[in-house]
Amino acid sequence: MVDVFERKSMVRVLILIVSLAVFSFSNQVNSKAHRVLKKYYNHEVLLSYDSYINDGTLYTVDGKNDWVFIGVSKSKFEDFHYMCILDDKKRISLVRILIYRENYGGEIGSHRWLRQFTGQTRPKFMIDAISGATISVRSIQTSINNLLIQLNNDT
């Protein structure tokens, strides 16, 4: 009888730990996204949920005609979160890596490298490579291309 009670307690503790980890993980992504948005717009902005697309969520920026996409993409062992800001013409204005969890390939977060996506309205199949981050580079390229295809199909 005691054995069953101990197992139930352990399961409850495990569920609590996992839910806290997921909650703090999403808070970390949201916090980073809001910092990037505040810097980009020079003031706080509010986001409203628009829709779920492929591997992330599309938001509208209140008071603007812009969209913000926060997505998840694969690297070798872990997922990473990224954000795209799109203007009213569905053109990419900014791409930022919010959270990158791998030991190698962190160069993918370089603002200089990410600038090659700026201005895109259609999929781009030729992008600069990063030595040691091949999987992450292809993954974010595919994710952004899929986002643009989806947005262009919705019009």
* Alpha-helix runs per DSSP H in the chain: 2-41, 111-114, 134-153
Farthest-apart Cα atoms in the chain, separation:
65
120 vs 2, more confident: 120
Nearest CA among 72, 71, 44, 46 for reference residue 60: 46
Express each pLDDT in 68-120 by its tens digit: 999 999 888 888 999 999 999 999 999 999 998 888 878 888 899 999 999 99
Domains of the chain: which residue ranges? Answer: 2-153
Percent share of the chain, pLDDT over 90? 41
Task: Report residue 103 CA to chain centroid gap.
Answer: 18
Express each pLDDT in 133-149 by its tens digit: 788 889 899 999 999 99
Q: Does the global pTM surpass 0.85? A: no
Q: What tokens appear for 113 in the block? A: 């490298």
